[in-house]
Amino acid sequence: MRWTASLLAMLASSPAAASPESWVEANRSALLVEYVNLLAIPNVASDTPNIRRNAEHISAMMQRRGLSPRLLESEDGKSPPLVYGEWLVPGAERTLILYAHYDGQPVTAEDWTVTKPFEPLLLSARHDKGGKPLSVWITEREVDPNWRIYGRSASDDKAGVMAILAAVDALKAEGKRPAFNLKILFEGEEEAGSPNLAALLRRHKTTLASDGWVIIDGPAHQSGPPQLALGVRGDVNAEVTVYGPSRPLHSGHYGNWAPNPAMMLAELLASMKDETGRVTIAGWYDDVVPLTEAERRAIGEVPVADEALKTDLALGSTEGGGARLTELIHLPSLNINGMRSADVGANSRNVIPATATAALDLRLVLGNTPDRQVEKLVRHIRAQGYEVFDRDPTAEERQRFARVARVTPTPGYPAERTSIDHPLARDVAAALRKHGAIVLLPTMGGSLPLYLIRQELGVPNVSVALWNHDNNQHAEDENIRLANLWNGIAAIAAVMTMK
């Protein structure tokens, strides 16, 4: 906020540009300052006051660009609003929505090593490869495209917000306008699973009328090029807690007589996968819709970056029995997001813990539903001898059954996929290819509630993923490489002007 005055002065003095690339070149410093100010506003979806500050801040950014912004509110006015803007073009034959989300994943501040999650910092390189902090007060000619901005949502997905608005700037500076009626939509609770998106789309159906959506979210391919994904995986989370003694016990006096819930959880989790990482839960892969021949061919054409990625990630092995990453993300997954029982390290004590918990993440593909996938999980846990509750069991229930578990799923949502032959897919692919190679993915590994767009508005969507793959999204030390931001702006400008 403290930079706004000088920022406006810089924006006002932007020279006219002959291309989005030259506009970026001439305005990088002002862009950095505007972006850092946006990242400094905490944006965890559950942090209601700050989420609203984000919405109002972004609305002001749109206002300065003449995009007639409005906050599209939920019925009770309490949910994070959709931030909406538009650039209508007289005579345009179609209307497209460009989407990004302005909320970010929750943060564990003490895990961040480079800076605090909401104190964005510019580094001269990746932090674990010798990057050093830099001032944002840099002159135009000093900006190096390999620099990185660190902070929550630097990539996921305030980069989408910033790049869409900068692409509007670039078009205006060139004296151009979009090839269609452009509607811009930023969501504020995507990382919380978009619990209100369906209702919001229904409520604002007329405002949001369009022929299709282009989603700006996600990482470029590990080998460098942008990815155009025609689908996303669905997602449902389930927390599993198993129970030991009703209070933590001295591990000398009661070990090993009292069952240890950490060991019970280890055995339960270990029963869910074989040694290649294939899920052994009955029926896990049964309802998957098979890939078409064209989709299988597209997957085969995706560059293989697996070995380089293994080196970057210091991995000595991978799951999937030799299958490639791109093949594996077209399957439903079961991932342990986190696991906890009592404490380790300096706070560890000699106890038999009272409970042990694992946070599971189940990614879904076309054919799966969240409810069915969770039901398979619950059936599997029952088959291991557990009585399963959807709440904390009572002391009486804990004593009645030899093994007791609690499973609490989130609502979740299914996968979505647009046909490889749909005009929206073909046009966006063609626009992006003017700038170089792209990677075309039938489905990307990540999840967005894109099924809602078809369900509520009856239109298809595609996703453009532009940010550096090593961006630590969803974790500590999230960052964006400037070159990806610059190229992303140009790519989005190309989509906006596609015929």
Stretch 253-272 residues interacting with a second copy (CB under 8 A): 253-260, 262-263, 265-271
Q: At closest approach, how far in Å is the CB of 370 from a second copy?
A: 14
Helices within 369-453 (DSSP H only) = 370-383, 395-400, 423-433, 451-452
Region 368-427 residues binding a second copy, contact defined as CB under 8 A: 395-396, 398-404
Contact pattern for a second copy over residues 127 through 156, marking x by CB under 8 A:
-x----------------------------
For residue 20, count other CB atoms closer than 10 A to its CB: 27
In the complex, what is the shortest distance from the CB of residue 341 to a second copy, in angstroms, rounded to a whole number?
4
With binding defined as CB under 8 A, does residue 304 bind a second copy? no
Q: Report strand pairing: 95-101 vs 212-216.
A: parallel
Distances (CA, A) of 462 to 112, 376, 429, 465: 33, 30, 10, 10
What mask of x and - would describe binding to a second copy in positions 463 to 482, judged by CB under 8 A? Answer: ------xx-xxxxxx-----
Question: 243 or 486, CB closer to a second copy?
Answer: 243
Stretch that binds a second copy, among 164-172, 181-189, 303-311, 420-428 (CB under 8 A): 303-311
Rounded to an integer, what distance in angstroms lies between the CA atom of residue 325 and that of residue 306? 7
Count the Cβ atoms, other than its own, within 10 Å of residue 198: 15
Tell which residue, 113, 30, 31, has the closest CA to residue 478.
Answer: 113
The nearer residue to a second copy, 22 or 251, going by C-beta atoms, is: 251
Binding mask 228-257 for a second copy (x = CB under 8 A): -----x-x-x-x---xxxxxxxxxxxxxxx
How many residues touch a second copy under the rule CB under 8 A: the total is 105
CB contact at 8 A, 104 and 480: no
User: Could you tell me which stretch among 6-14, 29-37, 80-88, 319-327 binds a second copy (CB under 8 A)?
Assistant: 319-327
- Please give the structure tokens belonging to residue 345: 């390290």
Q: Looking at residues 329 to 368 of the shown chain, list those that interact with a second copy (rule: CB under 8 A).
A: 329, 331, 333-353, 356-359, 361, 363
Tell me which amino acid residue 67 is.
Answer: L
For residue 311, state whether it binds a second copy (rule: CB under 8 A). Answer: yes
Cα–Cα distance between 13 and 85 in angstroms, integer? 24
Query: Closer to a second copy at the Cβ: 9 or 308?
Result: 308
The least CB distance from residue 263 to a second copy, in Å, is: 5
Q: Is 417 left (phi over 0), alpha (psi -120 to 50) or beta?
A: beta
Considering only residues 71 to 110 of the shown chain, the ones binding a second copy according to CB under 8 A are: 105-106, 108
Residues 488, 94: Cα–Cα separation, whole Å: 23
Written as one letter, the residue type at 424 is L
CB of 392 to a second copy, least distance (A): 11
Residue closer to a second copy by CB (options 191, 295) is: 191
Closest CB to a second copy among residues 224, 277: 277
| Per-residue DSSP letter, 311 | H
Query: How many angstroms separate the CA atoms of 152 and 119, rounded?
Result: 9
Binding residue for a second copy, selected from 317, 391, 421, 499, defined by CB under 8 A: 317
Please, which of residues 172-201 interact with a second copy by CB under 8 A?
none
> Where does this chain touch a second copy (CB under 8 A) — which range of 140-148, 176-184, 288-296, 445-453?
445-453
C-alpha distance from residue 72 to each of 61, 173, 344 (Å): 16, 28, 46
Of 206-225, binders to a second copy (CB under 8 A) are: 218-219
- Provide, rounded to whole angstroms, the least separation between the CB of residue 11 and a second copy: 33
CA distance 301 to 47: 42
DSSP alpha helix (H) spans, 122-157: none
Candidates 182-190, 208-216, 314-322, 417-425; binding stretch for a second copy (CB under 8 A): 314-322
Residue 413 per-residue DSSP state = B
